[in-house]
Amino acid sequence: MQSTTNYLWLISDLLGQGATANVYRGRHKKTGDLYAVKVFNNLSFLRPLDVQMREFEVLKKLNHKNIVKLFAVEEESNTRHKVLVMEYCPCGSLYTVLEESSNAYGLPEDEFLIVLHDVGEEHSTSSPETGLQCLSPV
């Protein structure tokens, strides 16, 4: 079991993985509420910390029904790697959702860019993949 100050997850609860991070189904230690926990690996250190933190702050500002909410940025207790605590969407990744023909819709890219503009950011700091829509209730 891995943890941060407020969240915990099992390695076996892997939701997805990428080049710089793995995403797990996690829980809040006190409430038991489900969250997606994105744990960065050593490759993430290739990007400057100040750039990463700026992007995390942008994501925290985003508030739109079609964009996964970032609730917290913490550190993994053992490795001290950055951990993003995000809204849990049980339907999977954007790519998984869009593979289903019935779900080949979602947040249009231009609407996503408008939301980014509203929080004062250029579209180069985020990508449409960030705009995953939760298609079923948590």
Give the single-character DSSP code of 43: G
Distances (CA, A) of 40 to 90, 93, 98: 21, 17, 25
Say if CB 57 and CB 121 are below 8 A apart: no
Four-point Cα dihedral 10, 18, 107, 98, nearest 10? -90
Cβ-count burial of 81 within 10 angstroms (0-12 exposed, 13-18 middle, 19+ buried)?
middle
Q: Is residue 38 part of an annotated ligand binding site?
A: yes
Question: Binding site residues, as ranges?
Answer: 38
Binding residues for ATP: 38
